[in-house]
């Protein structure tokens, strides 16, 4: 999506510039990437209690960061790929397959001072096929709690974005470092 916005914006600027210079303006080209072609992964955050806004923001961050997958709230009456629940334990994700599973936004980490949006984006990262990368710096979303409570960065780094792109690319094959299916990942 970020490439599409840049390309479309550049084309619009060039078209206006040429028309102001007396040249002939041409129509902007079609967007480079079509969001409709992304694999849609729906999530149900109705059980996320006080973390609902953080869950929606975590999903939006992934949507801003990658083109191959689109996280959307589940429509009424449909079954979601991902359930997001709040509980009193530590944050964790249980993947059942790539793009499917359950995320728990645990109050224990929140009570210790960890950022709710970072937790949400991190746990959704597991659903998107990323493993923990501990210990790690704050610049790595998947470093999770090892970055400390002062770290509030909810954005995946370039390598994490690339890995998710590969996981959900045209072949829809999992990469070597992908999260194992059916394993509870506690962070």
Q: How many CB atoms lie within 10 A of CB 150?
A: 9
The candidate with the shortest Cα–Cα distance to 125, out of 175, 85, 164, is 164
The candidate with the shortest Cα–Cα distance to 102, out of 140, 172, 55, is 55
Q: Are the C-beta atoms of 174 and 126 separated by less than 8 Å?
A: no
Cα–Cα distance, 63 to 75 (Å, whole number): 18
- Listing DSSP states for 68-95 in one string gives SEEEEEPPTTSPPSEEEEEESS--EEEE
Catalytic residues: 123
The three-state secondary structure class of 121 is helix
Residue 172 exposed, middle or buried by CB count within 10 Å (0-12, 13-18, 19+): exposed
């Amino acid at each position: 999506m970020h490439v599409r916005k840049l390309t479309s914006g550049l084309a619009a600027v060039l078209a206006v510039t040429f028309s102001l210079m007396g040249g002939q303006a041409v129509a902007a080209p079609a967007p480079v990437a079509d969001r409709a072609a992304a694999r849609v992964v729906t999530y149900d955050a109705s059980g996320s209690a006080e973390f609902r806004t953080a869950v929606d923001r975590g999903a939006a961050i992934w949507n801003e960061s990658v083109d191959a997958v689109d996280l959307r709230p589940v429509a009424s009456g449909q079954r979601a790929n991902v359930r997001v629940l709040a509980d009193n334990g530590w944050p964790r994700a249980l993947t059942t397959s790539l793009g499917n599973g359950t995320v728990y936004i645990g109050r224990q980490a929140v009570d210790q001072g960890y950022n709710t949006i970072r937790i949400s984006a991190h746990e959704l990262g597991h659903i998107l096929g990323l493993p923990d990368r501990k210990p790690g710096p704050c610049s790595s979303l998947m470093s999770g709690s090892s970055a400390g409570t002062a770290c509030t960065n909810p954005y995946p780094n370039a390598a994490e974005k690339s890995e998710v792109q590969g996981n959900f690319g045209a072949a829809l094959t999992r990469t070597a470092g992908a999260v194992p299916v059916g394993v509870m990942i506690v962070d």
